[in-house]
Amino acid sequence: MADVIHYDYRLIPIIGRFGVEYGFGNKTVETVCEENNINKWFFLEIINSFRNHQYFPQKQLQNFTAKVIIQYLSNTHSYYLEVKVPEIQSYIDEMEKKVSPENSKNVKLLNNFFKEYKEELITHLANEDNRVYPYIISLEEAFSQKNIAQTLVDKIKTDPIEKYERNHDDLEIKLSDLKINH
C-alpha cells in the first residue's frame, strides 16, 4: 500500500475515502482491504481511475453492488463537505483580504457564486444520501431477492431514478459555469 502512495501521493485522500487510516506500514493492498472490509477489486478500480484520468472502468463497475459503490460515494460526500468546501472557502476568504480594490468586485462575485453553489451542493448531497442512495439500495435488494413490493413498484412509476440523474446534471452545469466564467 505504501508503494501506491509513494507512486502518487495525491491518492492519499482517495484512500481515505475508503475509511483507511494511515500507518499501514508495509501491508499489501490486499491486506489493508481485508482488514478494512473493502472490496479489493473496487478499491483498485477507483485508484486506477484516479491515476489515469483516461481510464473509466464502466464495465468493471457494473460488477460491484450498489452498496459498495454508494458507501464510497457517501464517504466522498463527507470528504467534500468537511474538507474541500471549507478549503475552497478559505482560499476565497484569503483572496478577499489580499485583493486590490479594482478587483474586489470580482472576488466578491466569486464568493457569492460559491456560497450559492455550496448551498446547492449541500442540498444535493443530502438528497443523495437520504433519498437517492436508499432508493437505489432498495431497488438492488428487491431485484436480488426477486421480490418487489408494490410500494416500490409505485415509487418506480411516480419517482423514476432518471429524475435524479437530471438533477445531477443540473448541478454539474452550475459547477462548469463556475469554472468557465470565473
Cell of residue 117, nine digits:
453553489
My answer on whether 30 and 84 are in the same domain is no
What's the total number of domains in the chain?
2
My answer on whether 111 and 162 are in the same domain is yes
Residue range(s) defining the domain that contains residue 25: 2-60
pLDDT of residue 21: 86
Distance CA 157, CA 19 (A): 36
Residue 152 has pLDDT above 90, yes or no: no
pLDDT of residue 182: 47
Residues 6+ apart with CB under 8 A from 14: 46, 47, 50
Residue-averaged pLDDT of the chain: 89
My answer on whether 78 and 15 are in the same domain is no
- Neighbour count for residue 41 (Cβ, 10 Å): 14
Distance CA 140, CA 67 (A): 9
Residue type, 134: P
Distance CA 118, CA 85 (A): 7
- Mean per-residue pLDDT for 14-20? 93
Q: Which DSSP category does 20 fall into?
A: P
Q: Please tell me which residue, 166 or 118, carries the higher pLDDT value.
A: 118
Residue 181 has pLDDT above 80, yes or no: no
pLDDT of residue 42: 97
Residue 174 has pLDDT above 90, yes or no: no
